[in-house]
Amino acid sequence: MRLELLQRLNEARAAREAAIVLTDLASGGQDLLLERQVEAHIEREALETLLRNGRSGSVELGGTALFAGVYLPPVKLVCIGAVHISQALAPMARLVGLDVTIVDPREAFATTERFQGVDLRAEWPDVALPEIGLDRWSAFCALTHDPKIDDPGLHAALRAGCFYIGALGSRKTHGRRVERLTEAGFAADEIARIHAPIGLPIGAQSPSEIALSILSEITAVRRLKPQPR
Amino acid sequence: MNEAEGDDVLAIAQGWRSEGREVALATVVETWGSAPRPVGSHLVIDGEGNFMGSVSGGCVEGAVIAEAIDVIGTGQPKTLSFGVADETAWEVGLSCGGRISVYVEPVS
């Protein structure tokens, strides 16, 4: 790999842009394609499939067998609520490879003592989220139980097309949430993207078990279904 | 980062090369059976045999590093294949029973 190509690849990765490196294993010839170049490419369909699946592998493009290295941006996990569950979720999510940010305007909750070494924002979602930059490579969890704090975050996550959106609370709580989101103008199919009650049903009881169920659900959505476009 | 179970191998490759080190990049390009690391996994190697990342669970890294130093010397990429451990090739066998192909290229 030429250093210049490696540099451009690393720049794209730093800018959260998906990229594909095509290598002719026989000749060593190599090319870098950025996500934004795919649309105009003659092999658009095959390249889009690679990006959607997010898996590197062999492809045949224009009659040539190539190896396609697919580089998707690292997944962010943004949690509204510096709560007990988040204290377990933050280190567990980091182990799984997610970039974690916790947002909670309540300063009693959002203390560095409770969240050592975690990117913690003691701000309202409306202030923090534009800065964090939710995108389709982001997972989002609303964990405060307080609509004043959770709802603006959910609005932002739905608008940004986060690949995973989960909200803590019982079915009854979620029923009221659905009503509020409907009033706020969100369509039923958008609201249906929210996973609530949050997490896979594994009988979780303790905060760390609930964190495990949330992380399992995020993993399932990310890995079992095609990557979001 | 998403290569999380560890380090950002591509950033390390760029860093090492920019420091003037001789560098090779190894990439898993094909797997069969229960290979330990998925296609696309990287191992970066410098001319001194220092390495970061992985292309297997540690079974074949030694052989890949030796080949990588050769690739650094010749400047020519090559594809290596590793299969199930057997008596004749046990040092480079995959004890897990899978098979992998690894592409090794110089970073130049």
Interchain proximity A25–B1, CB inside 8 Å: no
Minimum-distance CB partner of B27 among A2, A7, A69 = A69
CA gap B55, A19 in Å, rounded: 21
The pLDDT value given to residue A45:
87
Q: How confident is the model at residue B4 (pLDDT cuts 50, 70, 90)?
A: very low
**Could you report how far apart the first and last alpha carbons of chain A are, in Å?**
28
pLDDT the model gives residue A49: 81
Q: What is the average per-residue pLDDT within B77-101?
A: 69
Tens digits of per-residue pLDDT, B33-83? 777 788 999 999 999 999 999 998 777 889 999 999 999 999 999 999 987
Class of domain A76-224: alpha beta
Chain B: residue whose CA lies nearest to A56: B40
Q: Of A66 and A229, which is predicted with more confidence?
A: A66
Across residues A199-228, what is the average pLDDT? 88
* pLDDT band, very low/low/confident/very high, at A101 (cuts 50, 70, 90): very high
Min Cα–Cα distance to chain B from A69, Å: 6
Cβ–Cβ under 8 Å, residues A48 and A38: yes
Q: For the residues A199-219, what does the mean pLDDT come to?
A: 97
For testing the chain B interface, which of A2, A4, A6, A31 should be mutated: the one with the most B CBs within 10 Å? Answer: A6
Q: Do B29 and A25 touch (CB under 8 A)?
A: yes
Chain A contact set for B18 (CB, 8 A): 3
Q: Is the pLDDT reported for residue A228 higher than 50?
A: no
CB contact under 8 A, A56 and B76: no
Secondary structure (3-state) at A109: coil
ipTM of the complex: 0.84
Q: Which of A27-31, A168-172, B87-91 has the lowest mean pLDDT?
A: B87-91
Is residue B3 over pLDDT 50? no
- Residue B57 DSSP symbol: S
Counting every residue written for chain A, the total comes to 229
Q: Say how far apart CA A70 and CA A57 lie, in whole Å.
A: 8
Give the pLDDT of residue A176: 97
Chain B CB contacts of A92 below 8 Å: none
pLDDT higher than 90, residue A120: yes
Whether the per-residue pLDDT at B21 is higher than 50: the answer is yes
The reported pLDDT for the residue numbered A226 is 52
Q: How confident is the model at residue B7 (pLDDT cuts 50, 70, 90)?
A: low
- Condensed to tens digits (0 to 9), the pLDDT of residues A37-93 reads 998 988 888 898 888 778 899 999 888 999 999 999 889 999 999 999 999 999 999
The minimal CB distance from A97 to the residues B2, B11, B13 is found for: B2
Total count of residues recorded for chain B: 108
A29 Cβ under 8 Å from any chain B Cβ: no
Query: How far is A153 from A162, CA to CA, in rounded Å?
Result: 11
Partner residue opposite A25 with nearest CB, options B4, B103, B106: B103
According to the model, what pLDDT value does residue B93 have? 55
- Is A96's CB within 8 Å of B107's CB? no
Ranges in chain A annotated CATH 3.40.50.720? 76-224
Average pLDDT over residues A4-20: 93
pLDDT confidence of residue A223? 78
Contacts B106 to A, Cβ<8 Å = 1
Instruction: Taking residues A149-157, report their average pLDDT.
Output: 97
Structure tokens at B88: 């004749």
When pLDDT is averaged across residues A86-108 and rounded to a whole number, the result is 96
The SS3 call for residue A29 is coil
